[in-house]
Amino acid sequence: MGGDETRPRRSPLATILRGGSVYTVGKVISDLGEFVLHLLVSRWLGAGLYGLFAYGKTLAFTALLLTNFGGDKSIVRYLPQYEDDPPKRAFMLALAWVTSITGAGVVAGALFVGAPLINSLTLDEPTFVGVLRLFAVILFLDTVANLLYATFRALEVIEYEVFTKRIYKPIARVVCVGAALLFGYSVFGVVAAMVVASVLTLGLATYLFLTRTDVRPRLRSAAATRGSVKQYYNYSLPLTAKEAGTVMQGRLDVLVVGVFLSATAVAVYNVSVLVAGVLYVPLLAANQLFAPVASRLHTQGDRDELVATYRTVARWIFTISLLVALLIGTFRVELLGLFGPEFTAGATVLLLLLVGQLCNAGTGPSGYLLMMTDHQYVVMANAWVFGVANVVLTVAFVQAFGLVGAAVASAGVLALRNVTKLCEVWYFERMTPYDRAFSKPVLAGLLTVAVLTAVQAFGPGGPLGVAIGGLLGVAVYVGTLLGVGIETTDRELYAELFD
């Protein structure tokens, strides 16, 4: 079988770059599929039934962040750590499976049984009870599938995760939902079609796991000791609490806007969040395989390699994100205008959110570095402290300053959280992502700002101005990076990949 034992070991940077590239392709396809899915349901069923669909999906997706009980992160942590100890590796995988599947059963069961109560407290639509119960089934299936995706990541065969989760699953959903709509089914039939898509996806992921990997979960082994169990839950449970804090920081600001402002304000704010979120993609892509690589290097005691990898990956993330931030920030009014003239009111909001996301990108994979070096309680504390701060400040600032206040609170908390992570990485591990190489994208960014400002001031404006500014901005940015010289690590990586 084609497990990780049979693969030649790539350098850490080559592994992360390969994983990030594959993930980015899959992410584009996945987002496109999600867009088509929502477009089909909203256009075919109308706003009222689409609201039932969207609300149930949001509840299930939010619960999905908690049902793994840290199992996915634990798999990514321990499978690389114990690659030379197969019994311990198999036992840790089994613990992750048992814990997560049990947790998924409890949470999905509670959602299924409590559907009438949730409906009475929220939408109060009889149809929503059945819809929510179907989403509870999807929640359970997707939790199990996430364990397989995490296993693929831990074994550094991320292409299997991307193929099943990012490509096959959205296509299966669009096909199944499209067929349900063509046959005249309403919202219940649509969600039932999504259940079918989740079953098909889980089946494919299971097939790849059984045929393309060698690791198997096993509870009964010499590694099944009280110490191993304590070690596992000492890692996984804090990360479960961390996810609860993440929900408060990353998902409640839109809800708060909806509570205190109008539906139009929610729409404007949500679009700004969506556009600013583009800056998060490079960090997400790099994190896919940075985690198992960092775990392996930390376990092997290869500190110099870990520091070099951390710095290079952080520079890559910042370099890409800075260019994207400059282009979006400069032409933010034109971009928001694509959604409709009323959305240009979010220009200041978008600019503030871009600053927050750029701070996030500028600290690199610091959060995963803390997790992979056994500082999971610190990560948990960060999530809760800044999650609570985000809720409190957003409530206060929205009432005082409206939409801009929500953006100030969200961006400010995100920036402060990332500065805190930098300090923690230095305090606990004596590592920093910054070196002299970081000055190169900063210089390129300053020159690009000058060019983009000139285009805005003296250019033709409109779509033509955006096109000219975008092309010139990219040319100046890339040209400056090439002019100041490519880093030795990047040259070596290029040689490894292409020579």
> What does the pLDDT read at residue 344?
84
Question: What are the 10-residue block averages of pLDDT along the chain, 499 residues in total?
Answer: 46 64 72 74 68 71 76 83 86 91 92 89 80 93 93 85 90 94 90 95 96 89 83 79 64 64 62 79 75 78 84 89 93 79 84 92 87 82 85 89 89 92 92 89 93 85 83 93 83 62
Contacts by 81-90, CB closer than 8 A, 24 or more apart: 81/295, 81/296, 81/299, 83/4, 83/296, 85/223, 86/215, 87/218, 87/221, 87/222, 87/223, 88/223, 88/228, 89/215, 90/215, 90/216, 90/217, 90/218, 90/221, 90/223
**b/e per residue, 228-256, with b = 16+ CB within 10 A?**
beebbbebbbbbbbbbebbebbbebbbeb
* Distance in angstroms (rounded) separating the CA atoms of residues 419 and 436: 19
* Residue 6 burial class via C-beta count within 10 angstroms: exposed 0-12, middle 13-18, buried 19 and up: exposed
Q: Which residues contact 16 (CB under 8 A, 6 or more apart)?
A: 286, 288, 289, 290, 293, 309, 313
Residue 7 identity (one-letter amino acid) = R
Give the position of tokens 């990076």: 481
Q: What token pair was written down for 71?
A: 């199992």
Q: Which residues contact 68 (CB under 8 A, 6 or more apart)?
A: 100, 103, 104, 143, 146, 147, 240
Per the CB < 8 A criterion, the answer to whether 313 and 364 are in contact is yes
> What does the pLDDT read at residue 25?
74
Question: 192 in helix, strand or coil?
Answer: helix
> What does the pLDDT read at residue 7?
45
* Distance in angstroms (rounded) separating the CA atoms of residues 152 and 75: 10
> What does the pLDDT read at residue 1?
40
What single DSSP character describes residue 167? Answer: I
Backbone angles phi, psi at 11, to 5 degrees: -70, 155
